[in-house]
Structure 1
Amino acid sequence: MESLLSSFKHFKVSRGYKYHYFFSPATSGKPTLLMMHGFPSLAIDWHHQITFFKAKGYGLVVPDMLGYGGTDKPEEYTEYLHSLLAQDVVDVLDYEAVTDVIALGHDWGSRTASALAHLHPDRFIGFGFFAVGYSAPNTSTTYDQLQAQLTQFLGYNTFGYWEFFASPDAAEVILKHTESFWDVLYTKDARTPRYNMCPPGAIRVFIESDSRTPHDPATDQLHRIYEKEFAKAGFEGPLNYYKVAVSAEELEDGKSGYL
């Protein structure tokens, strides 16, 4: 996995932010895959896919998204609106002069992929979504309304943890209780999110009390990289995605045809 890091590049997009990304050009006739990660991840999360598709000649553009890894980390959360992130990655694609691109997103990366589908449909030949599906522009549904709708539909609130992640002290709390944070996010027990993340306030209690639960051993290799990168850069940038999600600014962005 670490060997892939030597193939990363840097480019300053039109907004002035530096992006850190893996790049491999396509062989003749193959499309390029744009892979966008979510929270709390890095471009290297796609290392299996990078290795697999690179060997088959696919082009690859795999960025550390804004706020992560070697990419810049602006403090103001409104810099993380998905319409702006969409333009950032298009700037990278244009710089590399790639065509025939398929945009793939995971988690918050799926929201950015959806924004690309709305704002730059002619720039892509396809889209793929992992963990979070395609999202239409949101013009009116507030975070509180979303919670109420989900609770009524599913019988419980699946997004209660957003409130903690969007709170002013979340980054500080996570850094003070990092082991509990990683445990609850990458738990081996499928029941853990249902009871320790989804209910509003539950994840704060879990983390601040230094609670532990067995984590998925499949993530051990990534965790060594995570511990280094997030200890160095913190969580303020990544948590800005949640601040956007609960904000009025996202609704205003949606009214313009964005997410």
Structure 2
Amino acid sequence: MDFDQRRGYRRVTTQRGFTYSYYFAAPAPSTSSEPSKPFLFFAHGFPSSSYSWHKQIEFFQPLGYGFIVPDMLGYGGTDKPIDPDAYIGSGLAQDIVDIFNQEKISQVIGVAHDWGNRVLSRLINHHPECVSACAFIGSGYGPPNAQGTDPISQSKDLEKIVGYDIVAYMRFFVQPDAAKVIEEHIDSFLDLVYPVTPEVWMESMCVDGGARAWIEQDKRTSLAWYITPEDRDRQKQELMAGGLSAPLCWYKTLVQDANKKDDANVPPENYVVKQPLLYVACARDCIARPDLGDARHENCVNKDTLTRKVVDADHWVVESHPDSINAILLEWMGALKN
């Protein structure tokens, strides 16, 4: 498939009035010896696009799987509203259901990473009938926050638990000038977000004021080993074409009253994930830490249907260890048949 020319991409305008761009491929037809395989829904995070899943698509498409892989709201060819309230969980979940309805898809296996985990989580909370099984890579399932607290307001409590300021970078990302600062220093920003070593995050992302200082000082590193120069050019072009104001809304919505009220509206019976759930933890991720994912799952995931795997990788395991991720997904989905 040719992602550069966006072949296979479709567009739909959702009930909320947002136009989404998404990669679509139907499953291979069933045969007398092989039933048709399911649709896979892939949800990316910050600051990525549907392209971040291309190594998974290239692996699973020849095996006959179908695909719905959107540019999430704020990214790529999808609309980019700059009102944080547009990014509330129920709204994002409904957008995805609208895409499913457009393609007459009743159920998918959901696979998510980073902020995509929030979309898949709310899809399960609000539309559980649409998800037959779910795979969370990195941060794990995120239950609704009925108490209305957010990671930024809880930063001191989190620091006591993990021993460092795990959400320090978020305080910069929600500032009014964050988008302008990042756009003016885009290469430095990308070096920070896609670090050459995990220690870069500990030294700058998890230190108060560290992310802003790194970016404003135009600090640079060598290219991370899992990113090609062509991929870096693509990341930069996509982000600069749309700007950072919309992608940063994913962080800003955390502190909005509308999002807190929206989480409180999730039916209590839908807090616990009833579908088979795969959690792929990243051993070297100092922000989406495996222990924090495990803690969220303790009371919100059916232990009988939970599969937990660990990869010795940092946050960007989808890009850096695609063979491991693909093998884990394939084995897990194969077991779902039994």
SS at match of 1:62: strand
CA–CA distance in 2 between the matches of 1:70 and 1:145? 33
What residue ranges of structure 1 are gaps of 5+ in the alignment? none
Deviation at 1:255, TM superposition (A): 0.9
Q: What RMSD in Å do the two structures reach over aligned CA positions?
A: 1.6
Task: Tell me if the contact between 2:152 and 2:167 (Cα under 8 Å) persists in the aligned partners.
Answer: no
Instruction: Show the counterpart of 1:231.
Output: 240
Task: Tell me if the contact between 1:32 and 1:100 (Cα under 8 Å) persists in the aligned partners.
Answer: yes
Instruction: Show the counterpart of 2:135.
Output: 128
Task: Tell me if the contact between 2:107 and 2:129 (Cα under 8 Å) persists in the aligned partners.
Answer: no
Question: Pairwise mapping of residues 97-136 of structure 1 onto structure 2 (< 5 A)?
Answer: 97-136=104-143
CA–CA distance in 2 between the matches of 1:69 and 1:218? 21
Deviation at 1:101, TM superposition (A): 0.6
Task: Tell me if the contact between 1:45 and 1:222 (Cα under 8 Å) persists in the aligned partners.
Answer: no
Instruction: Show the counterpart of 1:22.
Output: 23
SS at match of 1:228: helix
CA–CA distance in 2 between the matches of 1:39 and 1:233? 13
Q: 1:90 aligns with which of 97, 117, 123?
A: 97
> Which stretch shifts more, 215-224 or 103-112?
215-224
Cα distance change of structure 1 residues 3 and 227 upon mapping to structure 2, 3 Å threshold: closer
Deviation at 1:32, TM superposition (A): 0.4
- Deviations 1:29-82, CA, capped at 9 Å, x for gaps: 211000010000000110011111111110100000000010001121100112
SS at match of 1:238: helix
Cα distance change of structure 1 residues 148 and 110 upon mapping to structure 2, 3 Å threshold: same
Percent identity at matched positions? 37
- Deviations 1:7-49, CA, capped at 9 Å, x for gaps: 1111111111110000001123211000010000000110011
Instruction: Show the counterpart of 1:10.
Output: 11
> Which stretch shifts more, 242-251 or 194-203?
242-251
Deviation at 1:3, TM superposition (A): 5.2
AA partner of residue 194 (structure 1): M
Task: Tell me if the contact between 1:35 and 1:63 (Cα under 8 Å) persists in the aligned partners.
Answer: yes
Deviation at 1:201, TM superposition (A): 1.3
Deviation at 1:247, TM superposition (A): 2.6
CA–CA distance in 1 between the matches of 2:130 and 2:179? 35
Larger radius of gyration: 2
Deviation at 1:245, TM superposition (A): 1.6
Please identify which structure carries the higher helix content: 1
CA–CA distance in 1 between the matches of 2:11 and 2:176? 30
What residue ranges of structure 2 are gaps of 5+ in the alignment? 31-35, 272-338
SS at match of 2:253: helix
Deviation at 1:2, TM superposition (A): 3.3
Deviation at 1:146, TM superposition (A): 2.3
Q: 1:214 aligns with which of 214, 219, 222?
A: 222
Question: Is residue 254 of structure 1 aligned with residue 263 of structure 2?
Answer: yes
CA–CA distance in 2 between the matches of 1:132 and 1:4? 32
Task: Tell me if the contact between 1:31 and 1:99 (Cα under 8 Å) persists in the aligned partners.
Answer: no
Question: Is residue 196 of structure 1 aligned with residue 204 of structure 2?
Answer: yes
Deviation at 1:214, TM superposition (A): 2.4
Question: Pairwise mapping of residues 107-186 of structure 1 onto structure 2 (< 5 A)?
Answer: 107-140=114-147, 141-186=149-194
Task: Tell me if the contact between 1:35 and 1:46 (Cα under 8 Å) persists in the aligned partners.
Answer: yes
TM superposition outliers: structure 1 runs of 4+ over 6 Å: none
